[in-house]
């Protein structure tokens, strides 16, 4: 029996309506930018398996570092104990994170990195004797699927059953070139009508919204208003972190720096799950007290799992290497050339690039996971390319190790896919 046939007997997949979904594809191997299925078909991984495997699948350098770590120390309780991999990762991360970051808190994935950030923000104010209960977030933001993160996500089309239990969240539009006054006015109104604890946002690129970009200047202006009112700024860099925008972190494009940063996805180079919530010294100090209860009593069993830390250290070493930095520039240049060549196509409504991110908006109305979108998905799969279009947006976020031939193959398929909309 095939993997695919065995799977449908007892597995429940995420983001899947099993009554109507087609059987999943059995993947047996991955190497570099390529996935291999059980029938021997190959697919170029155009989205680095949800922005994780940025240094290529089964990257030898990462695998070796993790293997070495697993043989030395596999897992320990991270309350009362520490270990080399966690300490080294903390040092290496703080070297590349924005300079105001000073503490590294470990969790398990992107959602829990955000969840911890939200709890930190609420308790920060609580510890100072203030009860602040509102989160400010962007309209089309995505922050994960646990309750706090889900509440803050504006893209909650499938969250109907849970909406009554959400945290209190007020929304502002993402700042574009023409709406900054409106955004700031709305922000100020929210601040005067609510007790705002934090502003949570995806810096510069809203991934799940369809790789929508907004301006660093706008973000800077929002930060300033938040600062004036003691509202903590939380940058969710789960998607944007680790080189994808051309910088190590998207927050580097913004003049003011966030108080808290959430990391995951490429953090562990696609090998194992881990999340991190980093914060400034000011945030950290609000938890120091003779009263134990003012500490941050939030923990995950696998906090700072040593093999995960080893993967992250090796990932940072690769990210900061000349070879990967050159690759980022190379992909950037390729994306820009392709974007320029397709910009005036009658079926293209818009095209944008930043770092290794490329997004093409098709001139057609499509629902997020509707049938036309599925047709588009199939079109790419038939050509050996794995992409996950979001509504009418086709986006590419390839591993840094993708070669020019593979990139051109993706571009060609995108161009050819436009005939579906004639
Ligand atoms: C993927 C993502 C998350 C959630 O991360 P998980 O590891 O899937 O829980 C949160 N925020 C952003 C911006 C993301 O892209």
Residues 183 and 265 in one domain: yes
Residues 179 and 310 in one domain: yes
Residues 206 and 343 in one domain: no
Residues 205 and 328 in one domain: no
Into how many domains does the chain fold? Answer: 2
The angle formed by the CA atoms of residues 225, 231 and 233, to the nearest 5 degrees, is 85
Instruction: Quote the ligand 1 centre to 270 CA distance (angstroms).
Output: 13
Of residues 214 and 156, more confidence is placed in: 214
pLDDT in tens, 348-387: 999 999 999 999 999 987 776 678 888 999 999 999 999 9
Residues 19 and 86 in one domain: no
- Bridge partners of 45? 386
pLDDT of residue 367: 72
pLDDT in tens, 238-284: 999 999 999 999 999 999 999 999 999 999 999 999 999 999 999 99
Instruction: Quote the ligand 1 centre to 239 CA distance (angstroms).
Output: 7
Q: Encoding tokens for residue 187?
A: 């922000």
- C-alpha to C-alpha distance for 336 and 338, rounded to whole angstroms: 5
List the CATH number of the domain containing 240.
3.40.640.10
Residues 279 and 153 in one domain: yes
Residues 126 and 260 in one domain: yes
Residues 159 and 17 in one domain: no
CB 236 within 8 A of CB 206: no
- C-alpha to C-alpha distance for 268 and 272, rounded to whole angstroms: 6
pLDDT of residue 421: 86
pLDDT of residue 366: 75
List the CATH number of the domain containing 365.
3.90.1150.10
Q: Which atom of ligand 1 is nearest to the CA of 202?
A: 13
Instruction: Quote the ligand 1 centre to 145 CA distance (angstroms).
Output: 8
Where are the alpha helices (H) located in 128-207, listed in sequence order? 147-152, 180-193
pLDDT of residue 82: 98
Residues 273 and 365 in one domain: no
Could you tell me if the CB of 152 is within 6 A of ligand 1? no
The angle formed by the CA atoms of residues 50, 56 and 62, to the nearest 5 degrees, is 110
Which of 109, 150, 209, 265 best tests ligand 1's pocket when mutated (most atoms within 8 Å of CB)? 265
Domain boundary among 286, 319, 352: 319
Q: Tell me which residue has its CA closest to atom 5 in ligand 1.
A: 110
Could you tell me if the CB of 264 is within 6 A of ligand 1? yes
CB 377 within 8 A of CB 387: yes
SS3 169: strand
Q: Encoding tokens for residue 142?
A: 């995505």
- C-alpha to C-alpha distance for 3 and 175, rounded to whole angstroms: 46
pLDDT of residue 422: 81
Domain boundary among 285, 302, 319: 319
Cα separations in angstroms, 264 against 23, 50, 120, 129, 277: 29, 11, 17, 31, 9
C-beta pairs of 60-63 under 8 Å, 24+ apart in sequence:
61/314, 61/317, 61/318, 62/269, 62/271, 62/311, 62/314, 62/315, 62/318, 63/271
Cα separation of the two ends of the chain: 40
403 phi and psi angles, rounded to 5 deg: -95, 170
Of 33-47, 104-118, 120-134, 153-167, which gets the smallest average pLDDT? 153-167
Could you tell me if the CB of 143 is within 6 A of ligand 1? yes
Strand stretches in 296-362, DSSP E: 348-354, 357-362
Q: Which atom of ligand 1 is nearest to the CA of 111?
A: 9
Domain ranges, residue 206? 61-319
pLDDT in tens, 177-231: 899 999 999 999 999 999 999 999 999 999 999 999 999 999 999 999 999 999 9
Instruction: Quote the ligand 1 centre to 241 CA distance (angstroms).
Output: 11
pLDDT at 232 over 80: yes
Which of 238, 261, 308 best tests ligand 1's pocket when mutated (most atoms within 8 Å of CB)? 238
Residues 141 and 188 in one domain: yes
Q: Tell me which residue has its CA closest to atom 6 in ligand 1.
A: 110
- C-alpha to C-alpha distance for 30 and 43, rounded to whole angstroms: 9
Instruction: Quote the ligand 1 centre to 77 CA distance (angstroms).
Output: 25
Q: Which atom of ligand 1 is nearest to the CA of 109?
A: 7
Residues 304 and 351 in one domain: no
Residues 109 and 168 in one domain: yes
The residue written with tokens 């191997």 in the block is 29
Average pLDDT value over all residues in the chain: 96
pLDDT in tens, 19-71: 999 999 999 999 999 999 999 999 999 999 999 999 999 999 999 999 999 99
Instruction: Quote the ligand 1 centre to 346 CA distance (angstroms).
Output: 34
Q: Encoding tokens for residue 54?
A: 């940025």
Domain boundary among 319, 352, 378: 319
- For the chain, count helices (H), then strands (E): 13, 16
Q: Encoding tokens for residue 194?
A: 């609510």
């Amino acid at each position: 029996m095939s993997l695919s046939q065995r799977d449908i007997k007892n597995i429940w997949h995420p983001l899947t309506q099993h009554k109507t979904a087609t059987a999943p594809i059995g993947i047996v191997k991955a190497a570099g930018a390529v996935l291999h299925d059980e029938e021997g078909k190959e697919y170029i991984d155009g989205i680095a398996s949800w922005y994780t495997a940025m240094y290529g699948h089964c990257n030898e350098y990462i695998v070796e570092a993790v293997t070495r770590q697993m043989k030395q120390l596999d897992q320990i309780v991270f309350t009362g104990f520490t270990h080399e991999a966690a300490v080294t990762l903390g040092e290496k991360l703080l070297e590349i994170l924005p300079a105001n970051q000073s503490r590294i808190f470990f969790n398990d994935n992107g959602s829990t990195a955000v969840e911890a950030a939200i709890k930190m923000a609420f308790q920060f104010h609580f510890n100072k004797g203030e009860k602040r209960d509102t989160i400010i977030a962007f309209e089309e933001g995505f922050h994960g699927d646990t309750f706090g993160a889900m509440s803050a996500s504006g893209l909650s089309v499938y969250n109907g059953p849970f909406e009554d239990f959400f945290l209190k969240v007020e929304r502002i539009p993402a700042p574009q070139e023409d709406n900054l006054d409106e955004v700031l006015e709305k922000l100020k109104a929210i601040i005067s009508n609510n007790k705002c604890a934090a502003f949570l946002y995806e810096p510069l690129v809203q991934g799940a919204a369809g790789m929508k970009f907004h301006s660093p200047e706008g973000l800077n202006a929002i930060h300033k208003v938040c600062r004036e009112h003691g509202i903590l700024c939380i940058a969710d860099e789960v998607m944007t972190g680790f080189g994808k925008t051309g910088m190590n972190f998207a927050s580097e494009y913004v003049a003011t720096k966030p108080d808290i940063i959430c990391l995951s996805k490429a953090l562990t180079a696609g090998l194992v799950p881990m999340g991190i919530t980093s914060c400034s010294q000011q945030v950290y100090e609000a938890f120091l007290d003779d009263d134990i209860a003012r500490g941050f009593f939030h923990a995950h069993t696998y906090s700072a799992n040593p093999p995960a830390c080893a993967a992250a250290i090796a990932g940072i070493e690769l990210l900061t290497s000349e070879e990967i930095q050159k690759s980022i520039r190379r992909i950037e240049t390729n994306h820009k050339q392709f974007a320029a060549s397709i910009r005036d196509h009658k079926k293209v409504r818009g095209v944008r690039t930043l770092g290794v991110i490329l997004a093409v908006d098709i001139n057609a109305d499509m629902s997020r996971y509707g049938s036309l979108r599925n047709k588009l998905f199939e079109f790419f799969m038939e050509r050996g390319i794995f992409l996950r279009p979001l509504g009418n947006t086709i986006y590419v976020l390839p591993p840094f190790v993708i070669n020019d031939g593979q990139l051109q193959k993706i571009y060609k398929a995108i161009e050819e896919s436009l005939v579906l909309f004639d």
